[in-house]
Structure 1
Amino acid sequence: MSTAAHLDAAALDAADPLAAHTAAFVPGGDLVAYLDGNSLGRPLATTADALRHLVEREWGDRLIRGWDELWLSRAEELGDRIGAACLGAAAGQTVVGDSTTVLIFKLIRASVAMRPGRTEIAILADEFPTDRFIVEKVAADHGLTVRWVTAPHDGGITPELAAEHVSERTAAALFSGVAYRSAWFADMQAVTGVVQSHGALTIWDCSHAVGSVPLELDAWGVDIAVGCSYKYLNGGPGAPAWAYVAARHQEQVINPIPGWLGARSPFSMTEGYEPAMGIRRLVSGTPPIVGMVPLAEMLTLIEQAGIDAIREKSIALTSYAIELVDELIPDAVVASPRDVARRGSHLTVDHPNAARAVQTLWGEGVIPDFRHPSGVRVGLSPLSTTFAEVERGVRALAGALA
């Protein structure tokens, strides 16, 4: 009999040191179990008041004066908070702005320009679509070859795979810190070292990693990283993304979308563009101030809870979910790492009835998501998900798949 039979969700919740934080989130109406926090995190109850403060006070009272008094430095200030709380990044290396797609485009283009004469970009063949689309477009525009890396279905990039596909021809390699489908948590330090040993740059897409696993970008020698903020950072739909560029690279970065607020003297209105010093050179247009508000609220909660404690609960939640799946859905395949060191905060459960089951579950207030061709993705957001919710969700999934 599996361990799950002996585990009581109520007891696990009672022993959870982060349990009190679940009450900080908007309840969610008719929800029975929300298992999609790795796609869109739940809003904090304080977010509505914070947005009202922005509208009534920062914007309503101060109007245009808000830029000089509050907003011009907010993209960098919020970036520094993300760096300190989630990325292991010293100040001055992270900035918030644009979407993940736009930032990946900027960073791939900049990386290729920083490695002139090289002819290849490496990426997983099963990488998230946006990442693949951008790499293919940049490669086509610059006459480069895409070096496709094939990883196991339940895995992701490894140092060994990187060594097979990266060479002196490689300008840059774009990989995910936590794979969007399998939740494979890469050995980012080792992979970065392999890529750098060939003189290439590594760009890490940390969209499924930031806020759920501790990252040490400075200590690991990471070159560049990027990620969204609407998953475990709970910034809401369309929330602005963030970008990290190690200080040693910043003066070589050329922003392919130069805009006035990324210029050195934006209010001088001079004829020619001269990039700002440091990470601000990645800014193009006006920063999305309204969209930063929910993100700032969640960062406060992450700062209070601590990323290490968040990781411990993530491991406990995903381990409990795997045990329940093994017990209740024996004909399913867990297409995510069973090794906790290599697993992020979601699981993919493969089953032939996955698409139909997810459609059924949504109608019942149980919300996982479907990944083609046969995957049910179960996202467990440590600060908002309870063990009881996991049990309800997996039991409902077992019924729907049957």
Structure 2
Amino acid sequence: MSEAALAKEAAALDAADGLAAKRAEFDLEDDCVYLDGNSLGALPRGVAGRLSDVVGREWGRLRIRSWEESGWWTAPERVGDRIGRLVGAAPGQVVAGDSTSVNVFKAVVAAIRLRDTGSRDEVLVDAATFPTDGYIARSTARMTGCRIRVVDAADMAREAGPRTAVALVNHVDYRTGRLHDLPAVTAAVRAAGARTVWDLCHSAGALPVHLDATGADFAVGCTYKYLNGGPGAPAFLYVRRALQGRFDSPLPGWNSHADPFAMDPAYAPADGAVRGRVGTPEILSLLALDAALDVWDGVDLAAVRAKSLALTDFFLRCVEAYVPRGRVESVTPEAHGERGGQVSLRCAAGPAGGAGDVMAELIRRGVVGDFRRPDILRFGFTPLYTRFADAERAARVLAEVLEGTRRQ
């Protein structure tokens, strides 16, 4: 198909896009092709004003009174419930705070402590996991006398057995964009008598997640990608309601105490999601995230998913039409049921250099994706602000870079 035909198709798809108006809620230049929302989401326009008020009025004038009068103290649960709606969790099961790494640690140790027998001494880890998850898992294994067994996420369901205490799985592979079967893996691990900890960093806000409906035990995720919370935004922790009374956090901070201001030297855990807190909440970044989540008000996750799949399908068609054969290869699954919200292309070295050089030139020409060593170009498609015209332009500029030309 010709460039003119694909550009015309992109315009028609954008005109029919039910989410198109959402782009105006983000601080993006009209000519910006930003395809790195799977690393850092774009800035929602409402965040700057909200932070100005938090700093100038709540902190600047109300000062200490804001813990009560401005609702700072309960912000982790309030923001957690807003995230919960986006990951299929009823209120009272998600708390916002700390980093993803810290929350992985809490969840994995807590899952091990829930085991029904000491013979469950095995932690299954997704072979393609994000490195931090693996680091944390190995540390928890050393601390708890468990052993790590690394398995492919696709094999996790059948690998769980009588020795398994917990399975730590990435819902979407950060490198390839492969979506793993959360319901099936959760059911199989549970049938084996073990617990699941799901890493939702690359799925929260990109596609519907049904934590309650699927019986997931624990889940963690960051909020600075598809949820647009900003660099270093607080992460979140999900603890299934049925487990909350037995959730034994390895980080029993004063904020998770049943009566924090009693300053009791003996720890007594609070009820509910509050038990997932540790120390004083990161108020500035937490309230920036709270404001960022306003863009999700009234948004149907099914519509987000439908547009995400349409965008990635269209981008792959454009790449096939524009890019010289053999120069790139998609490592993202074609099947919709196995695809997250990004497209990853393996890029062989050529006249334009290696994949890192290609991405640097794409960024210089106004198409922002990212590069993962040694040879992966990643393009994240964020349905709230990515246009079909962006997908077409990205594929066209990629072809130009690989050919060493600039088309007129």
TM tier, shorter chain? Answer: over 0.9
Match of residue 318 from structure 1 = 312
1:164–1:190 Cα change, 3 Å: closer
Residue 238 of structure 2 corresponds to residue 244 of structure 1: yes
Residue 286 of structure 1 aligns to which amino acid in structure 2? T
Q: How does 1:2-401 map to 2 (within 5 A)?
A: 5-6=5-6, 8-28=9-29, 32-69=32-69, 70-84=71-85, 86-115=86-115, 116-117=117-118, 118-150=120-152, 157-158=153-154, 161-329=155-323, 330-331=325-326, 332-352=328-348, 353-401=354-402
For the 8 Å contact 2:157–2:184, the answer to whether it is kept is no
Q: Deviations over 1:77-110 (max 9, x none)?
A: 11111112x1111111000000111111111111
Pairwise CA distance, 1:386: 1.0
Structure 1's consecutive aligned runs of 4 or more residues displaced over 3 angstroms after TM superposition are 1-7
Aligned CA-pair RMSD: 1.7
Task: Give the distance between the partners of 1:259 and 1:144, measured in 2 at CA.
Answer: 25
SS in 1 for 2:278: coil
Q: Deviations over 1:230-282 (max 9, x none)?
A: 00100000000011110011111111111111101001111211111111111
Task: Give the distance between the partners of 1:293 and 1:314, measured in 2 at CA.
Answer: 28
Q: Deviations over 1:352-386 (max 9, x none)?
A: 13222012222222211111221100001111111
Residue 362 of structure 1 aligns to which amino acid in structure 2? I
For the 8 Å contact 1:109–1:138, the answer to whether it is kept is yes
Pairwise CA distance, 1:125: 1.6
For the 8 Å contact 2:47–2:291, the answer to whether it is kept is yes
How many pairs does the alignment contain? 392
Residue 339 of structure 1 aligns to which amino acid in structure 2? A
Structure 1 spans left out of the alignment, 5+ residues: 151-156
TM-score, structure 2 as length reference: 0.92
For the 8 Å contact 1:4–1:323, the answer to whether it is kept is no
Pairwise CA distance, 1:52: 0.6
Task: Give the distance between the partners of 1:267 and 1:319, measured in 2 at CA.
Answer: 54
For the 8 Å contact 1:173–1:201, the answer to whether it is kept is yes
The percentage of counterpart residues that share the same residue type is 43
For the 8 Å contact 1:147–1:165, the answer to whether it is kept is no
Structure 2 spans left out of the alignment, 5+ residues: 349-353, 404-408
For the 8 Å contact 2:158–2:188, the answer to whether it is kept is no
For the 8 Å contact 1:234–1:294, the answer to whether it is kept is no
Pairwise CA distance, 1:139: 1.5
Task: Give the distance between the partners of 2:273 and 2:331, measured in 1 at CA.
Answer: 38
Task: Give the distance between the partners of 1:294 and 1:349, measured in 2 at CA.
Answer: 33
Task: Give the distance between the partners of 1:138 and 1:4, measured in 2 at CA.
Answer: 55
Pairwise CA distance, 1:401: 3.0
TM-score, structure 1 as length reference: 0.94
SS in 2 for 1:267: helix
Residue 229 of structure 1 aligns to which amino acid in structure 2? T
Q: Deviations over 1:25-77 (max 9, x none)?
A: 11259x64211000000001111101011112222222111112211111101
1:141–1:168 Cα change, 3 Å: same
Task: Give the distance between the partners of 1:327 and 1:365, measured in 2 at CA.
Answer: 21
For the 8 Å contact 2:122–2:148, the answer to whether it is kept is yes
Pairwise CA distance, 1:3: 11
Pairwise CA distance, 1:194: 0.6
Task: Give the distance between the partners of 1:127 and 1:227, measured in 2 at CA.
Answer: 13
Q: Deviations over 1:113-141 (max 9, x none)?
A: 11151111111222111111111111122
SS in 1 for 2:220: strand
Residue 119 of structure 1 aligns to which amino acid in structure 2? D
